[in-house]
């Protein structure tokens, strides 16, 4: 069996990926801790008409889906984290798509968001949400990170894979 030697660039990309995940988790957990410490459940501050900070406890997934299914969502999150790690660290040599720094950034944002909300589910049984734009369900840093990451990945799938196919 041939041993795979990773280029130094791969190590750098792993460090950036890990750094993005860590930054998202830290920002998410610090912001949620501040909300839980300073606002009672249902209390709001900074209501400026279109935006407010509102302390909400979410026992479901995004948009209120799967309310009171924390165990199921915890299991799905753990499976998702394992799949992401396998894709990033074991499948990258098979699929050059994962070699893109932009894709790694997107996957890091998704994973950081997933871990941030998983920590809440495991520690307190629900996710703390607090960003309320009033035309959208209340969300948090982890949710925003996961959505931005998914958009980046979709962009790369649509536009970068077309470019790679045309070059071949």
Active site residue 143: yes
Among 28, 120, 129, 132, the active-site one is 129
Active site residue 129: yes
Helix (H), strand (E), coil (C) string for the chain: CCCCCCCHHHHHHHHHHHHHHHHHHHHHHHHHHHHHHHCCCCCEECCCCCCEEEEEEECCCHHHCCCCCHHHHHHHHHHHHHHHHHHHHCCCCCCHHHHCHHHHHHHHHHHHHHHHHHHHHHHHCCEEEEEECCCCCCECHHHHHHHHHHHHHHHHHHHHHHHHHHHC
Q: Please identify every residue annotated as catalytic.
A: 129, 143
């Amino acid at each position: 069996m041939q041993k795979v030697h990773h280029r130094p660039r791969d190590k750098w990309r792993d460090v950036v990926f890990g750094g993005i995940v860590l930054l998202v988790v830290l920002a998410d957990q610090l912001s949620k801790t501040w909300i839980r410490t300073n606002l009672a459940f249902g209390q709001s501050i900074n209501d400026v008409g279109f935006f407010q900070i509102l302390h909400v406890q979410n026992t479901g997934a995004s948009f209120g889906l799967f309310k009171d299914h924390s165990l199921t969502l915890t299991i799905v999150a753990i499976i998702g984290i394992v799949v992401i790690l396998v894709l990033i660290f074991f499948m990258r040599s098979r699929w050059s798509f994962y070699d893109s720094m932009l894709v790694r950034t997107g996957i890091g944002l998704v994973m950081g968001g997933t871990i941030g909300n998983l920590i809440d589910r495991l520690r307190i049984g629900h996710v703390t949400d607090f960003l309320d734009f009033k035309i959208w369900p209340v969300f948090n840093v982890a949710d925003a990170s996961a959505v931005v990451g998914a958009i980046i990945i979709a962009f790369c799938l649509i536009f970068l894979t077309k470019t790679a196919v045309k070059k071949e």
